[in-house]
Amino acid sequence: MPSAATHLADVAQALSIRYNNRVYEMKARGEDVIVLSLGEAFFDIPLFSFAEMPMPESYHYNSSRGNPELRRQLAAYYGRRYGVAVNADTEILVTAGSKAAIHMSLMAILDPGDEVLVLEPAWVSYTEQVKLCHGVPVMVPIDETVFGLDRYVTARTKAIIVNNPNNPSGQVMTRAELEHLHALAERHDLFLLSDEAYSEFLLDDAFISCGALDPEKRHTLVCNSISKNHGMSGWRIGYVIASPALIAEVLKINQHLITCPPTILEHYLVRHFDAILEVTRPQIAEVVRKRGEMARYLESCGIGRLPGDATFYLFASIEPSTLGSEEFCTRLLEEHHVCAVPGIGYGTSCDRYIRISVGTESDERVKHGIRQVRRLIEATAPAPIHFRLEPAAAV
């Protein structure tokens, strides 16, 4: 019998998706689970009419760069909102979600054996996508800063992946950090691949796109999507912004892999892009505020976390539990019916953390989930522990 490609043996499943699949199974058995593991926030979004979509063209293939009018809207959005001037004809391409945009971008810039710096905590797919492109991920541990990246650069380094705002910590990069990254990229001839999927999830205007500091797009590729900012993850619409030369390479990959994004969904977005953003913006502000409240609740429970104020995630410490993050999350799910994502999914230096998402459960249920985290930490600590403060509600 023929066997599957051996290089895939080294590629892991996405840990977050693996845990969410367990939740679906438990829910199918009628069990109640507090879901703090889903990578999205649920918003109330109206369904506009599909009856007005142009026919018959909505049924057919369209431009492999993405619908031209949608490209113009996305380019205008990046210009208006983040000060990144984008030529809609040559510098942007629409594809099947930012996951595909990131993967295709990596395919476009990596030769086999090229090294890519991945900063931990790192969203679960970067490492595996680099491997799928026959590149070598070079993991930068959690206690390193952007200013210490120079020492990870070798003659084989080709790119740095930047996740800003960061999933899972919610940290937003400062101008000084971004300037340092651009200087590093210039000095060593590296690409910066900036994943900005959570660009709207801030309470203030502190977000700076990586693209804003490289107006000529000499080395920057920006990936984003409608999954988080528009709350429409199921539509699988994402995009990449880069130089015309790089977009021309990504275009070949898009043509050979997906032909074009779903035509009817692009038409829908063309018509309702701004209206949907108007609906989601206040809800985004609400979920970021909720995140702040849950961060304070974590603190009142004596649970630490990585610093960060953006997104709807908290990267919570499980110290002083003796469990690794996978065993911790498995027991949290099986014994307490609370699902969180093990920190190890975000890099080996992150095994003392779990990711908590506040995007899909009520305040009370998130707080209940946090109290269960605390109970499990207490139950698995090497010696009896006394948390600094008592949480507002009894455990």
The verdict on 347 binding ligand PMP (CB under 6 A) reads no
Tokens standing for residue 75:
């380019």
Binding mask 190-209 for ligand PMP (x = CB under 6 A): -----x-x------------
280-305 b/e (C-beta count within 10 Å ≥ 16 → b): beeebeebbebbeebbebbebbbbeb
Distance CA 188, CA 150 (A): 9
- Decide if 162 contacts 171 (C-beta within 8 A): no
Smallest gap, in angstroms, from Cβ of residue 14 to ligand PMP?
9
Q: Check residue 170 and give left, alpha or beta (phi > 0: left; psi -120 to 50: alpha).
A: left
- Decide if 249 contacts 256 (C-beta within 8 A): no
Smallest gap, in angstroms, from Cβ of residue 90 to ligand PMP?
22
Binding mask 3-32 for ligand PMP (x = CB under 6 A): ------------------------------
The verdict on 233 binding ligand PMP (CB under 6 A) reads yes
Q: Tell me the C-alpha to C-alpha distance, in Å, between residue 343 and each of 179, 271, 392.
A: 28, 40, 26
The verdict on 326 binding ligand PMP (CB under 6 A) reads no
Q: Which of residues 211-230 bind ligand PMP (CB under 6 A)?
A: 225, 227
The verdict on 359 binding ligand PMP (CB under 6 A) reads no
Pick the closer one to ligand PMP by CB: 240 or 301. 240
The verdict on 355 binding ligand PMP (CB under 6 A) reads no
- Decide if 166 contacts 308 (C-beta within 8 A): yes
Pick the closer one to ligand PMP by CB: 98 or 263. 98
Tokens standing for residue 133:
């492109």
Smallest gap, in angstroms, from Cβ of residue 269 to ligand PMP?
14
Bridge partner residues of 241 (DSSP): 92, 222
Smallest gap, in angstroms, from Cβ of residue 332 to ligand PMP?
20
Q: Which of residues 60-99 bind ligand PMP (CB under 6 A)?
A: 97-99
Smallest gap, in angstroms, from Cβ of residue 308 to ligand PMP?
13
The verdict on 238 binding ligand PMP (CB under 6 A) reads yes
The verdict on 346 binding ligand PMP (CB under 6 A) reads no
The verdict on 123 binding ligand PMP (CB under 6 A) reads yes
Distance CA 356, CA 310 (A): 13
Distance CA 207, CA 228 (A): 15
The verdict on 167 binding ligand PMP (CB under 6 A) reads yes
User: 56: cis peptide before it, omega within 30°?
Assistant: yes
Which residues of this chain interact with ligand PMP, rule CB under 6 A?
Answer: 39, 97-99, 123, 163, 167, 195, 197, 225, 227, 233, 238
